[in-house]
C-alpha cells in the first residue's frame, strides 16, 4: 500500500485532542484510530503489538537474521490532530499531476494559491492530498504514521537487512502530552526519530523551550453608576495584561531563532477573567527571562489593583532538544546519511514549535524530527505530497539500514 493511501484511510478517523481534557487520551475518539493501527500492525506481522489504555500503540519489527545485536532504532508519530469542528468529517481529495497553479478546495470558496503559498510551484506534477476547505487534513501527523508503516512494510517485502525496529504511535501530541506516558522500557529503542515535520529531507533537532502562562483575574462588580473607587473590572485588567507584552515579540512578527509571547485566549467579564499565553524561545536564558516577565507582570497587577487580583499559573511544557542531541552526533549523522542516500540534501533549521522528541530526548531517548512531505498544517489549507511521503518512507528504510551497519 502506498503511503498516501494510508493517509486517506487514517484521515477518515476524527482524532482532535483537547487541551481541556483531564485524561489521556484527552478525547475518546483517539482510541478508534489507535485500535485500527494495532490491527494493521498485527496483520503486517509486527511482534509485541500493544495498544495500552492511553491509546499508545507499540510494535516491533524483529531484526533480519544476523543483525539481532544491532541497536534498536525507533520511529514515532502521533495520531491526534488540532481541533476539528464538532460533527465535521475530514474529506480529503486527491489531485493528480498538480499543475502548480490555483487549486479550489471543494465548495468552500477557499483556494490554495501560489500567490500566498509560494512553495506550491515546486509541487507541480506531483499528487497532492488536500482538504475540502472545511477542516484540517490531519497530515500532521497521520502522514507520519503512514510513512512509518509504509517503510516497515517495504523493509519486509524487499528483504532489506535491518536491526530491530521499534514503532510507537502516540496520542495528544498537539497539546504537549504525547511523550508523557510513552513507556521507554517497553519501546526499547536506543535512539528514535519522530516523523512530524514539514517537507521531506528536513532534519530538525532544535526546538523551542516552551511554557504556558495563564492569568486568572478576580474583579469587583458594582453598578457602573456608582462604581468610582469600588469597581475592579476584571475584563479591563485582562486586556491590560494582554497588551503588556512587546508588540514585536509575537508569532506574527518573529522568525528563525526569535522567541515570542503568544496570546492564545482572553475571556471574562467584570467579575472574572482569564488571559492565556504560550512562551517560546530557543535560548534557555531568554526563555527563563520570558517567564520572569510574566511573574513581574503578576506582581505589578497586584500592586496596582490590590493583592489577590491576579493569579499566575506558569507551567513548563518542553525544552530545546538540541541540548541533548549535541551529545549524540551519531543519531543526526545516520539521518543525514539516510537522506543523502535518498537523493536529497538534508535541510536543518530550527523548529518553531516542539515535537514528542523534545520531551523524549530529555527522558533519555535521543529523538530528532524528520519531515514527511506535508505543508500548511493546522488549517484548511493543509496538504501533502504523495511522492514526498513515499520518499520519506525510503529515508526511514535507509535509517534502519544505517543502524544495521553499526
Catalytic residues: 80, 173
Contact of 50 with 166, CB cutoff 8 Å: no
* φ, ψ (nearest 5 deg) of residue 272: -145, 145
Name the residue among 166, 157, 96, 86 with its Cα closest to residue 130.
96
Q: How far is CA 71 from the centre of its chain?
A: 26
> Dihedral (C-alpha) 345, 350, 356, 360: value to the nearest 10 degrees?
90
The angle, 0 to 180 degrees and rounded to 10, between the axes of the packed helices 30-44 and 139-157 is 10
Q: Rounded CA gap, 89 and 96, in Å?
A: 22
Give the Å distances, CA to CA, from 135 to 90, 128, 139: 6, 16, 12
Q: Rounded CA gap, 205 and 370, in Å?
A: 9
Beta pairing, strands 209-218 & 374-375: unpaired
Q: Rounded CA gap, 155 and 325, in Å?
A: 27
Residue in this structure with the C-alpha cell 539481532, named with its chain if needed: 68
Amino acid at each position: 500500500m502506498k503511503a498516501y493511501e494510508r493517509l486517506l484511510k487514517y484521515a477518515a478517523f476524527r482524532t482532535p485532542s483537547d487541551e481541556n481534557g483531564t485524561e489521556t487520551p484527552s478525547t475518546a475518539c483517539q482510541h478508534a484510530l489507535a485500535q485500527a493501527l494495532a490491527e494493521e500492525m498485527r496483520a503486517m506481522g509486527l511482534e509485541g503489538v500493544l495498544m495500552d489504555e492511553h491509546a499508545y500503540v507499540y510494535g516491533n519489527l524483529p531484526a533480519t537474521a544476523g543483525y539481532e545485536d544491532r541497536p534498536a532504532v525507533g520511529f514515532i508519530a502521533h495520531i491526534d490532530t488540532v481541533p476539528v469542528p464538532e460533527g465535521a468529517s475530514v474529506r480529503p481529495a486527491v489531485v493528480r499531476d498538480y499543475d502548480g497553479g490555483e487549486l479550489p478546495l471543494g465548495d468552500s470558496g477557499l483556494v490554495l494559491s501560489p500567490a500566498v503559498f509560494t512553495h506550491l510551484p515546486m509541487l507541480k506534477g506531483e499528487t497532492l492530498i488536500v482538504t475540502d476547505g472545511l477542516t484540517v487534513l490531519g497530515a500532521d501527523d497521520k502522514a507520519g504514521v503512514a510513512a512509518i508503516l509504509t517503510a516497515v512494510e517495504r523493509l519486509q517485502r524487499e528483504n532489506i537487512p535491518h536491526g530491530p525496529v521499534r514503532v510507537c504511535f502516540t496520542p495528544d501530541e498537539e497539546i504537549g502530552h504525547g511523550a508523557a506516558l510513552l513507556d521507554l522500557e517497553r519501546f526499547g529503542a536506543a535512539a528514535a526519530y519522530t516523523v512530524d515535520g514539514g517537507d521531506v529531507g528536513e532534519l530538525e533537532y532544535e526546538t523551542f523551550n516552551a511554557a504556558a502562562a495563564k492569568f486568572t483575574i478576580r474583579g469587583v462588580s458594582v453598578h457602573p453608576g456608582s462604581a468610582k473607587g469600588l469597581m475592579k473590572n476584571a475584563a479591563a485588567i485582562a486586556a491590560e495584561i494582554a497588551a503588556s507584552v512587546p508588540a514585536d515579540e509575537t508569532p506574527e512578527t518573529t522568525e528563525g531563532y526569535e522567541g515570542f509571547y503568544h496570546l492564545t485566549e482572553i475571556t471574562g467579564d467584570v467579575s472574572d477573567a482569564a488571559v492565556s499565553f504560550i512562551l517560546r524561545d530557543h535560548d534557555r536564558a531568554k526563555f527563563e527571562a520570558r517567564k520572569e516577565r510574566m511573574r513581574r507582570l503578576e506582581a505589578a497587577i497586584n500592586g496596582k489593583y490590590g493583592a489577590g487580583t491576579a493569579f499566575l499559573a506558569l507551567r513548563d511544557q518542553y525544552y530545546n532538544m538540541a541540548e541533548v542531541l549535541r551529545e549524540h552526533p551519531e543519531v543526526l549523522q545516520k539521518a543525514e546519511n539516510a537522506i543523502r542516500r535518498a537523493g536529497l540534501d538534508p535541510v536543518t533549521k530550527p523548529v518553531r514549535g516542539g515535537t514528542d522528541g523534545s520531551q523524549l530526548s530529555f527522558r533519555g531517548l535521543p529523538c530528532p524530527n524528520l519531515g514527511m512531505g506535508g505543508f500548511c498544517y493546522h488549517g484548511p489549507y493543509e496538504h501533502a505530497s504523495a511522492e514526498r511521503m513515499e520518499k520519506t518512507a525510503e529515508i526511514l528504510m535507509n535509517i534502519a539500514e544505517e543502524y544495521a551497519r553499526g
